[in-house]
Amino acid sequence: MMVLTKLGQSIEKDSTKIPTAVLVSSGLTKLVTFSISNELSFGGGMYFPLLLVSGITGHVIINELDVQWPTTMSCGVVALPVAILPAPFTMIILAISMFNLSSRSGSTLVCVVTAHVLFIGLGIPHKHMSLAGKKNKKG
């Protein structure tokens, strides 16, 4: 893609790679805005913000490590939602169908199982939710 500067000179610019700093700031901004809207009781769920932040995380890994796009993005998109939401099979089907990984789905399966077992299996989100419930009952 050609970009014209003020002086009329053209600069070749790679339009396919988004800088890592922009991706990280976008992900952090999304997390902050989601937290604010969640605390102020705005409507909406947590599924799509988690998908967006996970996708951004996968893209940051692609930028920094220069690895295969479909496998990394499929793992990146499903890692965070499956760690929070108890829907591992749905996330496996979503990632495999979204990135057409019918023959290369092993790494996505390992990513989903690992995230689900580490967070849901250990009860990390449930412990935080019960503490928040106790805090809300007191105040």
Taking the C-alpha atoms of residue 109 and residue 129, their distance in angstroms, rounded to an integer, is 27
List, as one string, the DSSP characters of 9-72.
-EEE--SS---HHHHHHHHHHHHHHHHHHHHTT-S--SHHHHHHHHHHHHHHHHHHH---HHHH
**Residue range 3-56, pLDDT digits in tens:** 444 554 444 555 567 888 999 999 999 989 988 888 888 877 777 888 888 888
Residue-range definition of the domain harbouring residue 28: 2-138
Look up the pTM and report it. 0.66
Average pLDDT over residues 112-128: 79
Could you give the number of structural domains in the chain?
A: 1
CA distances from 131 to 22, 126, 127 (A): 34, 9, 6
